[in-house]
Amino acid sequence: MTYIAKPKVHHPSLQKNAIGLTRRDYEGAMSTLCAGCGHDSVTGALIHAFWELDLEPHRVAKLSGIGCSSKTPTYFLKNAHGFNSVHGRMPSIATGANAANQDLTYIGISGDGDSLSIGLGQLCHIIRRNVNMLYVLENNGVYGLTKGQFSASADRGSLAKRGEANPFEAIDGAMLALTLGATFVARSFSGDKEQLVPILKAGLKHKGFAFVDVISPCVTFNDHDGSTKSYAHTREHLHEVDDVDFVPLRKEISLPADAGSTPEVRLHDGSVIRFRRIDGNYDPTDKDRAYSYLRERAKSGEVVTGLLYVSPDSLDLHDNNKTVKKPLTEVPYEELVPGAATLAKLQKRYR
Amino acid sequence: MQPTDVSDPRYFHKVVDCQWACPAHTNIPEYIRLIAQGRFTESYMLNRKSNVFPGILGRTCDRPCEPACRRGRVDGKPVAICRLKRVAADYRDDVTPYLPTAPTQKNGKRVALIGAGPASLTVANDLVPLGYHVTIFEKLDRPGGLMRTNIPSFRLPAKVLDEECGYIINMGVDIRYSTPVASLKKLLDDGGFDAVFVGSGAPRGKNLDVPGRYDSDKIFIGIDWLESIHFGHTTKVEPTVLIIGVGNTAMDCCRSAKRLGATSVKVIGRKPRKYFKASPWELEDAEEEKVDILEDLSPVRFVYEDGKLSGMEFERFKSVEKDGKLRQEKIDNIILPADVVVLAIGQENAFPWIERDIGLEFKDNMPVVDKATFMSTRPGVFFGGDAAWGPENIIWAVEHGHQAAISIHNHCQGVAVTDRPKQGQNLSSTKMGLHEWSYSNDYSGAARAKMEHVDLTKRLTSLTMEVELGFSIEQTKAEVERCLNCDIQTGFVTKACIECDACIDVCPMDCLTITKNGEEPELRTRLLAPAKNQKQELFLSFDLKQTGRVMVKDEDVCLHCGLCAERCPTHAWDMVKFELFHPHAGEKQSCSK
Ligand SMILES: Cc1cc2nc3c(=O)[nH]c(=O)nc-3n(C[C@H](O)[C@H](O)[C@H](O)COP(=O)(O)OP(=O)(O)OC[C@H]3O[C@@H](n4cnc5c(N)ncnc54)[C@H](O)[C@@H]3O)c2cc1C
Ligand SMILES: Cc1ncc(C[n+]2csc(CCOP(=O)(O)OP(=O)(O)O)c2C)c(N)n1
Ligand code: SF4
Ligand code: SF4
Ligand code: SF4
Ligand SMILES: [Mg+2]
């Protein structure tokens, strides 16, 4: 937290994107989080991702629950729509918003407490419905906002700041998402923008629910020795499976020299996610392998990062529900509210 | 790249662009902060310590600091450093209690200074307090040198000059007016001095030997003409005046002509405007007074009608720039009318009073003087100011004076002149609270304050009415906040950094990057914002603990806003005040880190 606002001046060479905006135009209010909080870095990465994708801020809706992480939508895209929901209830608000207007880009920001403790049920259902959005879980293993109690993602045996060990098993958001049929699952680290930014971009462009579990250390309550969510511990146990490169549609796609060993996934809009394999033959389109791989690595205490799974032919909420292909605001009133006679006709069908 | 060695005072000094560019290394950001706090007297005294003549320089300095000022790279206009110096002088209280004084116990050494210009006066300023008996020999009947006789009073009022020369002379300098030194040999042989300093300036204006030069008494040499105006020998001028030359002397000549009654005044340059020697602000001031500034004209001859000077003929050029080189092609010849022509095409040194057989070597009619010690080839004879290497300006004359005084002190105390006190630095944290600093770190977007001038018709009626009104308190309040406090440095402690990226994300100017180390030219291209300004340094940390990468900072456009330090959870960054110790005569290294 700081007393002064970030000055409006910028570096003389600051670039504009295709829609004439600089990265600074994607910022929000000055953060009030603790200095060094991982969540601020995730905010920084999101600003890069939105800018690089040339997205119009006013065509974005930011949703969140409660928590330090859930405060962060205020700190980016000041010109976007926003909704700060009740603790753990962001998924239902997001589902409703998306149902009504599928033309906006949706981003949900949540915490491990918000998503895996109080909001676990909500999360399960939004995954199941494959709502088209990027869902970022800023994972620090604690309830930061309420002063550092263990959350449901805290590893068994991880030490609290005062020294006591967590007695319970952790819920792994990424594995949960895989089991529930998520169509895009990734894990990254707030301290590694080179990996995080392309993943966020791919997630924003994925059609369907893109779940990104970001290890995002709480410097104030969970960055000490003995914590398994500290900067140092995360860096020591990081295990990158693949290196993601997101190639948007408007860029010419040139194949790298080792194209054969570089799997690609083409998204519905024609953009491409390209992987550089780091770990042998990890295949992010093979869900079963992904699941067993994650379990194996978790046992040895490793934090697997990268794009873990993506389904190129995902069908989202609207596809499955066969809803009208435009925002409800654009559906003529007579069609949207066809009147009592039509309703009566409809009801008759179910008698 | 190697980690940056911040224990060498040059690293942080260079970050303070203005102070680095100032020949006397005036502590500019600190004096601006003192003004901001309303501590004008302290600000004046801090200035005086380095540049000796804050009131004079606050009006006349060539201000090399301003083109260097970081603020210019941030919003296009540097801080009005020079005129803030005048603010300190204008609003100060009586400074006499704080001025240096001569000790009652003298050290028995006698030093002669030739000329009472800024160079000699600075030597006196530094040596008298150390107990030296200082004698100044001055050709004229008043002190100040060219500051007195050539800089017109409408730019520099006599009162300001009198005061600041007086502060030095009144310490007890033995000053002999109207006493030109006619023979250095005699002074050395018979004077009984332990050291002699030559601060006699570059007193000769350059001549222009073209046909008709000697057929009229209405053709003048610029610096002589200004001197005769100063002494009241010239009190009016004919209506049409041509000034040949576009340096600072030409600007003072044309503006003086306007005040002496000329109605048409043209200044003639041989090259296009961007090559003119005069500072841009002096050209603007002249144009404001309706002086025409013409370019691409080269004098051919003086033109006469009925034996009377009537004009001057010029070759007219067309200028084209190719590959950064200027090419001038002749178009035709033109004649411009003139009743009076003033030649302001430069100054030369002249030492008719220095014998060439006294062990003092000359080369191309200039004395051979060591660049670091200011000593000639005859031990005990020192040079400084315009006399050393040709015409410069006041602030250089002052710094020459400081450095020569160190040498003279060494020489008189039997220490080698090359054994000079070293620069040092003092570093101290400015942290006051969680996000509170002992300086005003918030960036102000204010535009540079504009100096107000006396109404045009009013000012042209007088040779002595000062044109610039100085900054008001309101202007001052806004202008001081434009300073970025470049002396408040971003200090970095590698081992404390946990690589959380907080500083990088918050920095408004994209100064910071954590990346793999590499060779500097390649590293410069890999930063968050490419570091294209090669004149600005990169700071490089040691290898970071968690990933072995390095923290890199491009100093170029850092606002010194402290946000990086506020966002740093481990205080790896701190805002650290840098004070340069730039020693003067008799000062020992007072501080290290
Ligand atoms: C028209 C004009 C305008 C200028 N404007 C500016 C300006 O705005 N800002 C700026 O920074 N600089 C300006 N300068 C330059 C500046 O004035 C000089 O660089 C500076 O004064 C040099 O100082 P000095 O001490 O070396 O010598 P000077 O100031 O030249 O002083 C030398 C003194 O030595 C005396 N002297 C010479 N020979 C002898 C002798 N044999 N015996 C005894 N005494 C002797 C002279 O009478 C004189 O008083 C200007 C110069 C000119 C000509
Ligand atoms: C219904 C409800 N229950 C409890 C709380 C108290 N509360 C606020 S934030 C929070 C935990 C947030 O943890 P997390 O989502 O991990 O966010 P972090 O602060 O760690 O980023 C809790 C329990 C609340 N605000 N509302
Ligand atoms: S308490 Fe923890 S999670 Fe919350 S802002 Fe501070 S460091 Fe971040
Ligand atoms: S901003 Fe201030 S400290 Fe920095 S160079 Fe300019 S005057 Fe000097
Ligand atoms: S002080 Fe720090 S945050 Fe501010 S511009 Fe400089 S490096 Fe960036
Ligand atoms: Mg949390």
The complex scores an ipTM of 0.89
Contact between B547 and A235 using a beta-carbon 8 Å cutoff: yes
Query: Tokens standing for A125?
Result: 């259902």
Instruction: Output the domain CATH number for residue A217.
Output: 3.40.50.970
Q: What is the pLDDT of residues B12-69, one digit of tens each?
A: 999 999 999 999 999 999 999 999 999 999 999 999 999 999 999 999 999 999 999 9
Q: What is the pLDDT of residues A3-43, one digit of tens each?
A: 789 999 999 999 999 999 999 999 999 999 999 999 999 99
Ligand minimally distant from the alpha carbon of residue B181: 1
Interval between CA B97 and ligand 3 midpoint (Å): 55
In a domain, A16, yes or no: no
Name A265's Cβ contacts closer than 8 Å, sequence gap at least 6.
A272, A273, A275, A284, A285, A310, A312
Strands B381-383 and B264-268, sheet pairing = unpaired
Separation between Cα atoms, residue A41 and residue B498, nearest integer Å = 13
Write out the E strands in chain A. 60-64, 81-84, 105-111, 133-139, 142-143, 149-150, 184-189, 209-215, 238-240, 242-247, 264-266, 272-277, 303-310
Number of domains in chain A: 1
Cα-based distances in Å from B464 to A27, A330, B181, B260: 55, 77, 31, 11
Average the pLDDT over B499-514 and give the result. 97
Residue of A11, A311, A350 whose CA lies nearest to A182:
A311
Torsion sign across C-alpha atoms B111, B114, B118, B121: positive
Nearest neighbour of A41 by CB, restricted to B501, B508, B568:
B501
A8, A9, A22, A75: best to mutate for the B interface, most B CBs within 10 A: A9
For residue B12, report the phi and psi dihedrals to the nearest 5 degrees. -70, -35
Confidence of residue A259 (pLDDT cuts 50, 70, 90): very low
Query: Tokens standing for A20?
Result: 């004439």
Q: Specify the higher pLDDT residue, A238 or A107.
A: A107
Average the pLDDT over B406-410 and give the result. 98
Coil, helix or strand at residue B384: coil
CA dihedral A272, A276, A282, A283 (to 10 degrees): 20
* CATH 3.50.50.60 domain residues, chain B: 99-203+349-412, 205-347
Q: What is the pLDDT of residues B202-251, one digit of tens each?
A: 989 999 999 999 999 999 999 999 999 999 999 999 999 999 999 999 99
Cα-based distances in Å from B172 to B111, B127, B264, B391, B587: 13, 11, 48, 29, 21
- Give yes or no for B567 touching A (CB within 8 A): yes
Residue B409 has pLDDT above 50, yes or no: yes
Residue A1 has pLDDT above 60, yes or no: no
CATH superfamily of B205-347: FAD/NAD(P)-binding domain (3.50.50.60)
Residue B475 has pLDDT above 70, yes or no: yes
Domain with A199, as residue range(s), is: 23-316
In a domain, A214, yes or no: yes
Nearest neighbour of A38 by CB, restricted to B500, B509, B563:
B500
Task: Output Rg (C-alpha) for chain A, integer angstroms.
Answer: 21
Average the pLDDT over B136-164 and give the result. 97
Separation between Cα atoms, residue B137 and residue B571, nearest integer Å = 58
Q: Which of A1-10, B70-79, B342-351, B459-468 has the lowest mean pLDDT?
A: A1-10
Which residues of chain B lie closer than 8 angstroms to A41, CB-CB? 500-502, 505
Any ligand 4 atom below 6 A from CB of B84 = no
Contact between A34 and B569 using a beta-carbon 8 Å cutoff: yes
CA dihedral B72, B77, B81, B83 (to 10 degrees): 170
Which protein residues have a CB closer than 5 Å to ligand 6 (ion)? A 111-113, 140, 144
Q: Are A97 and A106 spatial neighbours (Cβ–Cβ below 8 Å)?
A: yes
CATH number of B99-203+349-412: 3.50.50.60
Q: What is the pLDDT of residues B251-277, one digit of tens each?
A: 999 999 999 999 999 999 999 999 999
pLDDT given for residue B476 in this prediction: 98
Which residues of chain A lie closer than 8 angstroms to B563, CB-CB? 2, 4, 6
Confidence of residue A272 (pLDDT cuts 50, 70, 90): confident
- Shortest distance, CA B325 to any CA of chain A (angstroms): 28
pLDDT given for residue A298 in this prediction: 87
Across chain A, which distance is largest between two alpha carbons, in Å?
A: 70
Contact between B500 and A11 using a beta-carbon 8 Å cutoff: no
Can you give the pTM of this predicted structure? 0.93
The count of other CB atoms within 10 Å of the CB of residue B525 is: 10
pLDDT given for residue A245 in this prediction: 82
Going by alpha carbons, the residue nearest to atom 1 of ligand 5 is B560
Residue A344 has pLDDT above 80, yes or no: yes
Nearest neighbour of B500 by CB, restricted to A13, A14, A41:
A41
In a domain, A323, yes or no: no
- Looking from the CA of residue B391, the nearest atom of ligand 1 is 19
- Give yes or no for B564 touching A (CB within 8 A): no
pLDDT given for residue B593 in this prediction: 35
The per-residue DSSP string of A112-139 comes to HIIIIITTHHHHHHHHHHT-SEEEEEEE
Q: Which residue in A has a C-alpha nearest to residue B513's C-alpha? A: A193
- Give yes or no for A224 touching B (CB within 8 A): no
Average the pLDDT over A92-121 and give the result. 98
pLDDT given for residue A312 in this prediction: 82
Interval between CA A289 and ligand 6 midpoint (Å): 29
pLDDT given for residue B589 in this prediction: 62
Separation between Cα atoms, residue B183 and residue B187, nearest integer Å = 6
Query: If 0-12 CB within 10 Å is exposed, 13-18 middle and 19+ buried, where does residue A247 land?
Result: buried
